[in-house]
A and B are shown apart, each in its own frame.
Chain A
Amino acid sequence: MTTETDASRGAESKLGLFSRRVFISILSIVLSLVIGGAIIALSGGDPIDGYLGLWRGAFGKEKAVVETIVKTTPFIFAGLAVAVGFRGGLFNIGVEGQLFVGSICALIAGYAVELPPGIHAAFALLMGALGGAVWAAIPGYLKARTGAHEVITTIMTNYIALRVINWSISQNGPLRLPGSALPETRRVLDSARLPSLTDTTPPLHIGVVIVIVAVFFVYWLLWRTPLGFEIRTVGLNPSAARYAGIKVERTIVLTMVISGALAGLGGAVQVLGLLGYFTTGFNVGLGFDSIAVAMLGSNHPFGVAAGALLFGVMDAGMKTMQLRTQVPRDIVVIIQGLILLFVAAPLLIQPLFRLRQVGEGEQVSISATWGGEG
């Protein structure tokens, strides 16, 4: 379909485009906070008070700051995973499942083998990344081979992962902690736990360092390597990629593998850095929230880190907010939902602020392959 017109050209320069995206994200956040505040007020609370409580919960004490950082970490991993997919033209909804699979693989590697400390943790992390990668490779391969849309197939792989894991930690499930009344798994060996930088609860584990490395790694990969060039080209224009000699199918699978590895690594860090085991409810929804994180960050690793921090702050702060100000924590979920709505549909806020039309150059791949080609 050739519907490209002179009109859809991006009118903005690179910098203009950049600041415009940041602007949209910030507007979305502000608007969501305002609407959230209105809802608090309508339900009889004091919005200023509520947000202050949220702030204090996230930054009030050293412990709170650690908690915020630790809560931000998985959002970054998962957000990066989604962002890499988007850059490659793939809507990887399967991050949730890949994260679970990564958790479980790291868990098994953490208790089933014995290795020296440090090496064991590294090995378990690697298995987590590998698990996520393999789990993501399946929909990638299906898309490359048969054209099956990744949104559908990753939703299915999510279900499969979730159900199998729930079964495996159910009564008499193979991973169930023997003798426990709760649906929880065995513990990983101490040698596989991530070392901590502080002795707080939660601990400031070195997963935090790993995630920072991951942010820079993804940046380097996407914009400084030929593979990244291929991923972005396939994401923006698969026909041109083929014309340029890029193996589109291979690139699709690789994109999913990298995306899944990041998600799996995130899951592994959670298990090895925090609880040391896996239980139902652990990290549920993280993979979906990270779609908002990635969009908020314009699918750029630095943006993702910033977006993840926002989500981490809200997650860390909402307990204190509810405790201190009686503003229910659900308000945070509402705000997060609103943010997703606004960043995903900038047209909603454009008329409000008379922003210029979205240019061709910036419709980054969210729907690039929605039509099924690829």
Chain B
Amino acid sequence: MDEPVLRVRGITKRFPGVLANDHIDLELRRGEVLAMLGENGAGKSTLMNIIYGLYTQDEGEIYINGRQVEIRNPEDAIRCGIGMVHQHFMLVPVLTVAENLMLGMEHVRGYFFLDKERTIREIEALSKQYGLEVDPRATVEDLPVGAQQRAEIIKVLYRGAEILILDEPTAVLTPQEADDLFMVVRSLTEQGKSIIFITHKLREVMEIADRIVVLRGGKLVGTTTPAETSRAELANMMVGREVLLQVEKEPAAPGEMVLAVRDLRVLDDREHPAVNGVTLEVRAGEVLGVAGVQGNGQRELVEALTGLRKVTGGQVQLLGHDTTHAAPRQVIEIGTAHVPEDRHKHGLVLAYPVEDDLVLCTYYLPPFTRSFNLQPYAIETNAVNLVDAFDIRTPTVATPASSLSGGNQQKVIVAREFSRNVKLLIAAQPTRGIDVGSIEFIHKNIIAQRDAGVAVLLVSAELDEIMALSDRIAVIYKGEIIDTVPAETATREQLGLLMAGVHEAEAGD
């Protein structure tokens, strides 16, 4: 009988106030894709970090090819042939791909000069072998997210990994990039590599997995295969109840104009035009979805609307105020909530306790500040209420946001922004990294806000999300809205073409 390449037994890990992993048994067979599912905070990343040596388990053993091993740090893990691609990439942005790969390879010591050309040749060989297209000479920060991820994978392979752990690799990818990644995954497993694949997207699980394991509350609650199960059943297994995979909503009843954007022009960080004359309107009580492949100006558009980025041309009107050049606080005070795309850069102060992150935009207003004094009790009460309402899994509200699971960090942001009394909600990738149960909750909440008369601007790379929530869909391509279509009649194919820059009229020719 073939030994599993990786087997863990009785893995247990406690954090202050949480049992993150509770006697988990798991095995990974050679050449398979093992998909791991579970709610936010179920303990998936913790288990992977233990296997990769970033955390040490309190109890339990790890076996590689049947032999027990002790993994105390990532170097040990790499020696055991384990590699991990983190949800947030670990590449040095200003270095090239090749330089990044050489960084970790201290055993190249002994050479006085680093042999860059050799590394480049090796990268090219790997990249051909597994269909991982990446230019070793390109600077990392210039690469699109998908290519950065391929570079991460190459790095892991370069260090001789036989077992690859991919923690929510598709969360940051566009559907096309995700498809590319799946091709790579298949070619890896065909050549004998074994893969653990964490994701919240059930569609992907059904497509790529050989076997599926589900974690809930730190325990392993089920093992199955795509053939034996369905998306609905998986959702049920994860959350422990029925999940509506589709949002129910009435037709919108648009009211007064809330946001009117005319011919907006914005530059990106490198001062290249990113938004080239965008015109759009959002009315009270409607959801305008902005669909598009990532990197087509969505981020710059949102940042310009919220006062975070300079506008170089055009005009923004928010509830009758000219906010073209307004400061962020002005935009907020007129009545805007903003779920930012990059949760670690903008959305959170990771070192802050959850309760402080929940008042990040309102700390200076009553009841949180009275006569120049912060009111710790009011801040705490607010947090307790939101943690409860939004089902944020945290031991206490004084726990630093940094020790929450990825999805729970996102929920902190969503809770903060959705709980404010606003007229305009700008949500960029609001459900990135969030489990199906919570997605359902957030989607319902967005529709409830719409029905209460809030204007919603939804920016998302998830076509499903855009189609489920929007009343109208604006497709952005190279910084321009190339078309706006009503959501009822929009099809995936039509949107897909538009997102690729093919206009219907032209497509018909």
Contacts and interface: CB of A to CB of B under 8 A. Distances in A.
Nearest to B357: A240
B479 interface: no
Contact of B363 (A1, A16, A226, A247): A226
Given A229-B374, A245-B329, A362 B403 contact: no
Nearest to B303: A243
A41 interface: no
A2 B338 CA distance: 20
A236 B344 contact: no
B360 A244 contact: yes
A223 B308 CA distance: 27
B349 A236 contact: yes
Contact of B402 (A9, A226, A247): A9
Contact of B403 (A10, A225, A240): A10
B49 A7 contact: yes
B382 to A, nearest CB: 14
Given A6-B49, A6-B406, A245 B346 contact: no
B15 interface: yes
A201 interface: no
B17 A242 contact: no
B90 to A, nearest CB: 6
A325 to B, nearest CB: 45
Nearest to B416: A244
B361 A224 contact: no
Contacts of A9: 350, 400, 402-403
A243 B306 CA distance: 8
B301 interface: no
B373 A225 contact: yes
A8 B402 contact: yes
A242 B87 CA distance: 25
A4 B88 CA distance: 6
Interface in A183-208: none
Interface in A321-342: none
Contacts of B350: 4, 9, 236-237, 360-361
B340 A243 contact: yes
Given A6-B49, A225-B372, A245-B332, A240 B400 contact: no
Given A4-B344, A224-B374, A233-B349, A359 B402 contact: yes
Contact of A243 (B17, B338, B373, B400): B338
A348 interface: no
A11 B55 CA distance: 10
A239 B399 contact: no
Contacts of B361: 244-245
B110 interface: no
A146 interface: no
B378 interface: no
Interface residues of A, number: 38
A175 to B, nearest CB: 39
Contacts of A228: 374
Interface string B1-31: 0000000000000011100000000000000
A33 B373 CA distance: 42
A5 B90 contact: yes
Interface in B109-167: 167
A333 to B, nearest CB: 34
A12 to B, nearest CB: 7
A79 to B, nearest CB: 21
A14 interface: yes
Interface string B76-95: 00000000001111101100
B203 interface: no
Contact of B400 (A1, A14, A242): A14
A10 B55 CA distance: 12
A3 B346 CA distance: 14
Contacts of B93: 1
B89 A3 contact: yes
Contacts of B400: 9-10, 14, 360-361
Contacts of A180: none
B480 to A, nearest CB: 26
Contacts of B306: 243
Contact of B372 (A2, A5, A226): A226
Interface in A153-188: none
Interface in B340-386: 340, 342, 344-353, 356, 360-361, 363-364, 369, 372-374
B308 A226 contact: no
B345 A2 contact: yes
A10 B329 contact: no
A16 B406 CA distance: 22
A2 B342 contact: yes
Given A3-B88, A229-B356, A239 B345 contact: yes
B86 A6 contact: yes
B345 A226 contact: no
A179 to B, nearest CB: 51
Contacts of A3: 88-90
A226 B88 contact: no
B497 interface: no
User: By CB atoms of chain B within 10 A, which of A5, A233, A245 has the most?
Assistant: A245
Interface in B390-416: 395, 398-400, 402-403, 405-406
B323 interface: no
Interface string A349-374: 00000000001111110000000000
Given A225-B372, A244-B360, A359-B402, 14 more contacts: A3-B90, A6-B54, A6-B406, A7-B86, A8-B402, A9-B400, A224-B373, A237-B348, A240-B347, A242-B308, A243-B308, A243-B346, A245-B329, A245-B332
Interface of B: 15-17, 45-46, 49, 54-55, 86-90, 92-93, 167, 306, 308, 327-329, 332-333, 338, 340, 342, 344-353, 356, 360-361, 363-364, 369, 372-374, 395, 398-400, 402-403, 405-406
Interface of A: 1-14, 16, 223-226, 228-229, 233, 236-237, 239-240, 242-247, 359-364
8 contacts: A1-B93, A4-B88, A10-B402, A224-B373, A237-B348, A240-B349, A247-B329, A359-B403
